[in-house]
Amino acid sequence: MKKYWMLGATAVLALSLAACGDKEKGSTEKAEVEAESTEASADGLDTEQTLTYLGEDYVVPSKVNNIVAASLESMEDAAILGIKPVGVLAIADAIPTYLADELEGAALVGDKFAPNNEAILNLNPDVILGSSKHGEEVVTALNKIQTMIPYSHVSTNWKENLTLLGQLGDKEAEAEKIIADYEEKAGQAKAELGEALKDKEALVLRIRKGSINAYPESIYFNPVLYNDLGLKVPDVVAKAEAQSELSLEALAESNPDYIFLQFETSENTDNAAALDELLANPIFGSIEAAKNEQVFVNVVDPLAQGGTAWSKVKFLDAAIENLSK
């Protein structure tokens, strides 16, 4: 009997020792994992990073692969930086023609008025670049999917926009070069054209829904003319607080020397002849710019947003060319 008791005690002891060994092994493995995690963090291999953009902090993965460009502004900057978003907005159920080559292959995720939340979710984004024009409902919905950064539509924030996208897409050097090259070209043009244009007035106008619209100094293409090239700010621009409809009579009274006129058919579906009618109007014909053949129509793609690096680079070239005539 004693023999059997000894055998049982030995078995229990062996099982106890095995259990302790497993427990110690588990604790060791856990400690090793925690140590590896701590070491990775110390080595800069954190899984997250915090980016500061226009005074706000945003937490995104340390390595961003899937960018959804849910704003036309971010789409333009992605195109000029050579970044391929996994999702982009559509115009007329397609990638906008002027960005189609650079953004080819991206999935469509709705339009600028109503991004498609389900389509965005299916792309498993690391970050969503929305728009500062998005309403609270859209912002809330997008943030439930992933961190949404409200990409600014204000033209004077173009450097911050491009720098942010450069950080997200590992294109910081490219972003810095685009900014430096633009500033150098604008500075040279300002010095060369300054004397000839010091008493001249130029307006950037956009025909939307058949009406003539002007913009504030910091919006659309205006900073290129007034900040970068140093042209005088016309009263109609100085008084505009947002996109403002401008009557033909008020335009004639302003009487600019140069007019850059943008017209997109899809923005004028109810009045496709609005551009032709304006150009043929005798009141418009009496304006200094029209009389001297200094009205420039669609010098860049009429869908261009105006306040992005893509828009500014394209418009600066067009402005220099036409203002030098």
Integer Cα distance of 76 and 85 in angstroms:
11
Domain formed by 48-172, architecture: 3-Layer(aba) Sandwich (3.40)
Residue at token pair 């500061």: 52
List the CATH code of the domain at 174-323.
Answer: 3.40.50.1980
Ranges of the chain whose pLDDT falls below 50: 1-42, 44
Q: What is the rounded CA–CA span in Å between residue 118 and residue 323?
A: 47
Question: What pLDDT is attached to residue 38?
Answer: 43
pLDDT, residue 45, reads 60
Three-class secondary structure of residue 303 per DSSP: coil
Residue 262 backbone phi and psi in degrees, to 5: -110, 130
Buried b (16+ CB within 10 A) or exposed e, 23-55: eeeeeeeeeeeeeeeeeeeeeeeeeeeebebee
State the Cα–Cα distance between residues 96 and 202, nearest whole angstrom: 28
- Alpha carbon 88 to its chain centroid, in Å, reads 11
pLDDT at res. 232 = 93
Instruction: Report whether 76 contacts 58 (CB < 8 A).
Output: no
Which residue type is seen at 229? Answer: L
pLDDT at 114: 84
> What separation in angstroms does the CA of 283 have from each of 245, 247, 277?
17, 11, 11
> Would you state the structure tokens that stand for residue 93, as one six-digit string?
């159920």
What's the pLDDT score for residue 48?
A: 94
CA distance 100 to 89: 11
Count of other CB atoms within 10 angstroms of residue 208: 16
The pLDDT of residue 200: 94
How far is 221 from 305, CA to CA, in rounded Å? 8
pLDDT, residue 50, reads 97
What amino acid is encoded at 315 in this protein?
F
Q: What is the pTM (predicted TM-score) of this model?
A: 0.83
Q: Residue 31 has which token pair?
A: 């400690």
CATH 3.40.50.1980 in the chain, residue ranges: 48-172, 174-323
Query: Cα torsion for 58, 63, 66, 67, to the nearest 10°?
Result: 40
C-alpha Rg value of the chain to the nearest Å: 29
Residues 6+ apart with CB under 8 A from 188: none
